Amino acid sequence: MRRGTKVGLVLAALSLIAATAALSASNRAQAKDTFIVGAEGDPVLLDGSLVSDGTSLRVTAQIFEGLVRNKPGTLKIEPALATGWKASKNGLVWTFPLRKGVKFTDGTPFNSAAVCANFTRWWYRPSELQGDDISYYWNTVFGGYAKPAPGGNGPDKSLYKGCKTRGQYKVELILSRRSTSFLGALALANFGIASPTALKKYKADEGTVGSDGQFRPSGTFATQNPIGTGPYKLQSWKIGDKLVLVRNENYWGPKAKTKTVIVRPISDTTARVQALQTGEIDFANNLTPQDAAVVKSNSNLKVQYRPAFNVGYVGINQKIAPLNKLKVRQAIAYGLDRKSVVGAFYGGQGQLADQFLPPLVEGYAKKGVPQYPYNPAKAKQLLQEAGEKLPVELEFWYPTDRPRGYMPDPPRNFQAFAASLGKSGFKIDARPGQWRGGYVSGVQGGKAALFLFGWTGDFGDPANFLNVHFGSQTDQFGFNNPALFSLLAKADQETDIAKRTALYQQASVNVMQLLPMVPYVHSTVPVGLRKNVTGYKMSPVELEPYSTVVVG
């Protein structure tokens, strides 16, 4: 082959590749009615009641709707398939009038029988599906089953008691005790109402238990035929390749603005960002701080932040002296240089926390919260007032592994806090530990005086933050304050949302006065979008609706 011919062949091959690349780019430009989502992986199943991972729930949230939902971009509860709600005086019976004229995408009418069929299905869940790895949210919110697995929680432990139809368009949910927090949980995609016809037809609950103890669904409801009332319906799903949603043209509310949504699994975050850069996807979920910087620097792309729904804190165990003294705890609060830690180690994604509740959660107190700016002199003074001899020696536990949103690099947080406490009259005894290698059990067992910990909410309700941690005495905090315990119980039981919010605001302030821990950060999660994508409204619980998205 002559040299010229070889060069010619190479050039021809390259131009062929370039030409087809240009062609596919123009294909993409034509596909304006398609929104391509880069997800971290495939959904596990498309049945919200059987999953707890964000990837699955973000898809089921487009197909199914619950009785209530979070107002887009907030954690405020608003009606969805119900048109409202009312609690009985004793707070045990909740009546939901239902929306009329709504149909599931298989044509089945939506009514009270459909709602109760779903609750009954969850309540009578087969025992092999009751574990936290499958039914986490039902367990967390309602906590029991009609027929519990051996050793599991039965009706006596369950918040849920029953569902009653009152005519075609009214249901009553009956609770075993007063608790309003379940209302916020009902907005989760886990409690989306599915077509009872489809549940039966596609054998949602049928399956076999293998010799490995695992349940294998034999029906196709959760894989090929998830039927809800939402703005989208499933067209196809090929695992590893793509999941295609198409607009539900008979949707009862405002129709989805973009006709097709394609979800594409890309587990590697860098690969996700690169696919966003080349336009192979329009949206990349969960970016690292480094990737967020790359996206920001590209003129075709933009970053949006999912509002914080977590808290990182320095825990204090009051069972360990001298931490039972309020002045010593205040000294710790003044001695922690929280602002520097949040500024230095969170890549611009951390917000300085002044209370346990993240700002978007109902009950976040806007005023009256005691502030503890870093002040070593004041810390020392408080220690002396408490009658302590300086330096005060304290064990400080921290995990060496498992970085997470609210704690991207635990040892660095510890080092900075230990240094600032060192300047504030304390002598810190470092206690590193592996998260699952004794750290969590040690902290929860009450062995740690000071410790780095945090919490990410399960659902948008203050009870899931405050009552879980400070509603009763725990070994972790060794904190016993009956007045606060009863205030939190009262707040959870209050059925009037405005009054409830006020009670939680008061509780949030009280917590910061009593200092069972010192919160320092609420961290946000960045996502990447193409600049031509508009209308993507961020949700703290990660359940953004795709129906408002426009690809321009």
Site string for other proteins, 355-394 (x = CB under 8 A): ----------------------------------------
Site membership for other proteins, residue 271 (CB under 8 A): yes
Site membership for other proteins, residue 213 (CB under 8 A): yes
Secondary element (H or E) of residue 397: strand 392-399
Residues 413 to 452: which contact other proteins by CB under 8 A?
435-436, 440-441
How far from chain centre, in Å, is Cα 102?
A: 28
Spatial contact of 543 and 62, defined as CB atoms under 8 Å apart: no
Residue spans of beta strands (DSSP E) within 297-391: 301-306, 310-316, 350-352
Site membership for other proteins, residue 45 (CB under 8 A): yes
Alpha-carbon torsion, ordered 257, 261, 267, 269, to 10 deg: -30
> Which stretch, 168-176, 209-217, 331-339, 487-495, contacts other proteins (CB under 8 A)?
209-217
Q: Which is nearer to other proteins, 96 or 455 (CB)?
A: 455
For 173-219, the three-class secondary structure string (H helix, E strand, C coil) is EEECCCCCHHHHHCCCHHHCCCCHHHHHHCCCCCEEECCCCCEEECC
Site membership for other proteins, residue 473 (CB under 8 A): no
Q: State which of residues 88, 90, 168, 214 lies at the interface with other proteins (CB under 8 A).
A: 214
Tokens in use for 247? 């607009």
CA distance 98 to 79: 9
Tokens in use for 411? 């040892």
Q: State which of residues 21, 377, 390, 430 lies at the interface with other proteins (CB under 8 A).
A: 21
Least gap, CB of 332 to other proteins (angstroms): 24
Site string for other proteins, 220-239 (x = CB under 8 A): ------------------xx
Site membership for other proteins, residue 290 (CB under 8 A): no
Residue 287's closest CA among 261, 305, 269? 269
Question: Long-range contacts made by residues 217-222, C-beta under 8 angstroms, separation at least 24?
Answer: 217/45, 221/47, 221/194, 222/45, 222/46, 222/47, 222/50
Residues 49 to 88: which contact other proteins by CB under 8 A?
none
- Reduced to 3 states (helix: H, G, I; strand: E, B; else coil), residue 451 is strand
Site membership for other proteins, residue 274 (CB under 8 A): yes
Site membership for other proteins, residue 188 (CB under 8 A): no
Q: Which is nearer to other proteins, 120 or 235 (CB)?
A: 235
By CB under 8 A, name the binding residues for other proteins: 14, 17-18, 20-21, 24-25, 27-28, 31, 34, 36, 41-42, 44-45, 128, 131-133, 136, 149, 151-152, 210-217, 238-242, 262, 264-268, 270-272, 274-275, 277-278, 280, 402, 435-436, 440-441
